[in-house]
Structure 1
Amino acid sequence: MEHIKDVLSAASRGILDSLRGFFLIFTLDREIELQRSLKRETKNKIIRRAQMTTPKEPRILHRTLQCSLLNGGVFCLSIFAFNGIVLPLIEALLTFSFSFGGQLNAAQWVWSWTSPVLSATFSTLWILPLFVLSKFVNCFWFQDIADAAYKYSRGRPQLLPSISKMIADMLFSMVIQALFLVQAMVMGLLPIAVFNGLLSMLHMCLLYSLYSFEYRWFNEGWELPKRLTHIENHWPYFFGFGLPLAILTSIPSSTLVSGNEARPTTKANNYPLRLFSPVVALANTIFNRTIGRSRST
């Protein structure tokens, strides 16, 4: 009973921290400027800004809006176009084709298995590559947000020791996240009512948490295995943290700040979920058979 209480408490804490980040994004720029002003006053290095004609736009809020417009706009428009235009058009054409022979029941039967296949194909061939592309394109914008929030709350980032190690870690993380997204889709296709949806939701919550906290842990010098193990060991908190983002996927970047400001609880860690283990093993196999083989030759 105590373990169940810890799990529920950790999940609730994660939800609250995630929601807090939605509102923190609008005030953090002001607090950072106040902190910088206090430091300048302490060091007697006050800079006069009376001659400045136009004020600078808040960096964090500006970057967040850029990321939200790019990711939310592209994702939302493409999903809306597919579900609201493409699928209904295909269904109408299919019904029209079968209507000449009076086989409307056959049309409904064909559509019952055609629709899931088309949705899975769209997710695999469009949503997944778009996720990887957005991860690569926006990593610089997201890193700006994470760096500013991290410097405000913790000071100078402690990055990985070498540039090559940083690049390798980033590439491996992108592969892991892409494979984990595929794993989440596969869980959603399991022929088990309700359970498949819950399991897929759990995967997406952990993926969103990794996506949000990764920049903070990267600034702390954590390598990818440590980041994944930490999420698996404390999955109740990260499930709760990623739950609002899994529901409101149109606001993808706002929890990046809350991921830097949150204090993950470590109480409920008695039952770790090794959900990342399959994709880590698969990614290791892919890298060993490609990069590892090219190095050996």
Structure 2
Amino acid sequence: MLKQSVQLWLCGVRESLNVHRCIVFLVLDNSKTIGRAILQCLLINGVILLGSILAWESVLAPTVHWLLRHVVSPCLGHLTARSAEVLLQLAYQALWLLPVYLVTMFVSCGIYNDIARTAYVIKQQQLKGPQAVPGPRPKGQSPGGSGGLEDVAQEVYRVVLFCVFFAEVSTVGRLPYVGYGLNVLFLSWLYAYYCFDYTWGLQGVRLTERLAYFERRWAFFAGFGLPMALSTVLLSFYPGAAVLAILFPVYILVSCDSDVNDVHERVVGKGGTNNLRHLPIFMLAMWPTQRVVHLITGGTGAPSGAMEPGASVVRPT
């Protein structure tokens, strides 16, 4: 069991590093939607967000430090100059960097969705032919449903669940000794889920089915999300967020071309995935999520219909 888990983890890491797969999508995208979206992502996250970070660290901060040290400090004292420097740094982050971060992340979500939708159609055309592909669900329809109140409830539940899960990730990262390792592991799962969630949503897979599928294949997804997790934990918050936002379109395209079922069959044999231990990754986040959703919607909380989606997730042939 341990040997197979390690092999699946290594396969996940290798899959995420197969960035050459992105070239196929760029070549086959006649509308050039993916290329334009990637350029937009580079512009808003690389130039605006990362540029704002570098502008402060490389130009503004050294200038402010020099002025306060040579102008303010001799007149008002070192403590006053130091306090003013800290306040200016906090003001820059609160009044400029944080709003820029929130706006760029919001805009990036729309860009990622366009990339995933286009890549999904291209992949299905490769597998089934242009005439056999009906296309993804309409943009207005929530993943995994028919567009009614149940879909709205599932979407609310999904958003709250991953907000709670992210808070859980932040909390375990503060634990002594094991916190750093657990933080990397949980972030790997979180980012891997984000990548594959686009495809699962376009396939119409219900949220509960996605979670069950993910928890059954936890070792592979832990490996797949590792490079993304390392790109954030090795940097401070804002630079890490900017780098991840730039690289994320690449991982979305790689995930669209990855056959998780095939990888599992190569390692554990056909049908062997069902023998692997189910790891309840999202269990701790479920209860508070249900309470929050219950307060928001006045309903029962979790969406219905949980099941193992081995046959529900569309598998490339």
Shorter-normalised TM-score: what interval?
0.5 to 0.7
- Return 5+ residue gaps in structure 2 as ranges: 138-143, 232-242, 300-317
Q: Shift of residue 87 of structure 1? A: 8.0
Q: Shift of residue 209 of structure 1? A: 0.9
Task: Decide which of 248, 257, 279 is 1:252's aligned counterpart.
Answer: 248
How much identity, in percent, do the aligned residues show? Answer: 19
CA distance in 1, matches of 2:165, 2:77: 45
What pairs with 1:1-297 in structure 2 (closer than 5 Å)? 2-3=1-2, 5-20=3-18, 22-30=19-27, 32=28, 58-77=32-51, 79-80=53-54, 131=105, 134-135=108-109, 138-153=112-127, 155-156=133-134, 159=137, 160-164=144-148, 165-188=150-173, 190-193=174-177, 195-246=178-229, 247=231, 249=244, 250-264=246-260, 265-266=263-264, 267=268, 269-270=276-277, 272-274=279-281, 276-292=282-298
TM-score scaled by length of structure 1: 0.66
Aligned to 2:141: none
Give the letter for the 2:188 counterpart: C
Give the letter for the 1:14 counterpart: G
CA distance in 2, matches of 1:93, 1:185: 37
CA distance in 2, matches of 1:70, 1:280: 34
Paired residues of 2:117 and 2:136 also in contact (CA < 8 A): no
- Return 5+ residue gaps in structure 1 as ranges: 34-55
Paired residues of 1:150 and 1:156 also in contact (CA < 8 A): no
Give the letter for the 2:254 counterpart: S
TM-score scaled by length of structure 2: 0.62
CA distance in 1, matches of 2:280, 2:66: 44
The alignment partner of 1:162 has SS state of coil
Q: Which of the pair has the greater relative contact order for Cα pairs under 8 Å at 6+ separation?
A: 1
CA distance in 1, matches of 2:280, 2:107: 28
Provide the aligned C-alpha RMSD in A: 4.3
Shift in alpha-carbon separation, 1:211–1:86, aligned structure 2, 3 A: farther
Paired residues of 2:37 and 2:114 also in contact (CA < 8 A): no
